[in-house]
Amino acid sequence: MRQAIIENGIVVNIVLVSVGEACPDEVAIGWTFDGTYYAPPVVSGPAPEPLPSLTARQFRLGLVYGGILPSQIDAAISAIEDEAARAVAQIEWQHAAQFERSHPLIEQVGSALGLTSVMIDEMWVSAPSL
């Protein structure tokens, strides 16, 4: 019968023995065991492609089509308490030639407007066609 050799909750080997507790046939090296149940390893796929950069035009039109007006962005930036951080945000908003989804300001302003990361991503994905 097959028996799993477990180290730190991970099946590290399967051996054939004549006595002991058998493991199910489907169990393989790399599965986990919590003392009661075996589970296959979690297989993660390739990392998702980063979202594309947007031109200032695409970004602003994406916001408008997503129901966010430029005046709302201005208000969210004006509400930033730290004066230097607010000045940086205003420069980024008013003068950036392109916008990166990974820039922290995108998440910060989005959150201030009640947008989730998923909502921002959805607007971002539709913006390149504008």
CA dist 108 → 37, 50, 98, 115 (Å): 42, 19, 17, 10
What confidence score (pLDDT) does residue 21 get?
77
What confidence score (pLDDT) does residue 6 get?
86
Sign for the pseudo-dihedral over CA of 59, 78, 86, 110: negative
pLDDT in tens, 97-108: 999 999 999 999
Looking at per-residue pLDDT, the higher value among 15 and 85 belongs to: 85
pLDDT in tens, 67-114: 999 999 999 999 999 999 999 999 999 999 999 999 999 999 999 999
Domain boundaries, the chain: 2-39, 54-129
